[in-house]
């Protein structure tokens, strides 16, 4: 019996640099999000961008997306009443 997997075709995603809306936010950040369209479940991660240090947004984004996809898959499975064996 094959285990259930989240269909990547059901997932939308985005990448943004959030506005510094609070005075406490002095360090810029980048945010990536994934959303499972059929359920509306969304996961978000934020990475700090260190001023003066060149960052690689495509690499950072890919790492965040991979991590977030696993998190989203687990949340959707729980929402749907399925179990995921992560072995």
In the chain, domain spans: 8-16+28-79
Pairing of strands 29-36, 41-48: antiparallel
Using alpha carbons, list the distances in angstroms from residue 54 to 49, 51, 57: 9, 8, 9
Model pLDDT, residue 72: 96
Instruction: Grade residue 58 by pLDDT with cuts at 50, 70 and 90.
Output: low
Model pLDDT, residue 61: 72
Q: What is the pTM of this model?
A: 0.74
pLDDT tens digits, 5-48: 899 999 999 888 766 554 555 666 778 899 999 999 999 988 77
- Identify whether the C-beta of residue 29 lies closer than 8 Å to the C-beta of residue 48: yes
């Amino acid at each position: 019996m094959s285990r259930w997997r989240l269909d990547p075709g059901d997932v939308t995603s985005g990448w943004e640099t959030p506005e510094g809306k609070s005075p406490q936010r002095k360090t810029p950040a980048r945010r990536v999000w994934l959303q499972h369209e059929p359920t509306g479940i969304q996961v978000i991660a934020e990475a700090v961008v260190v001023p003066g240090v060149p960052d690689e947004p495509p690499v950072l984004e890919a790492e965040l997306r991979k991590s977030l996809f696993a998190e989203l898959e687990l949340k959707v499975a729980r929402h749907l009443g399925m179990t995921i064996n992560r072995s």
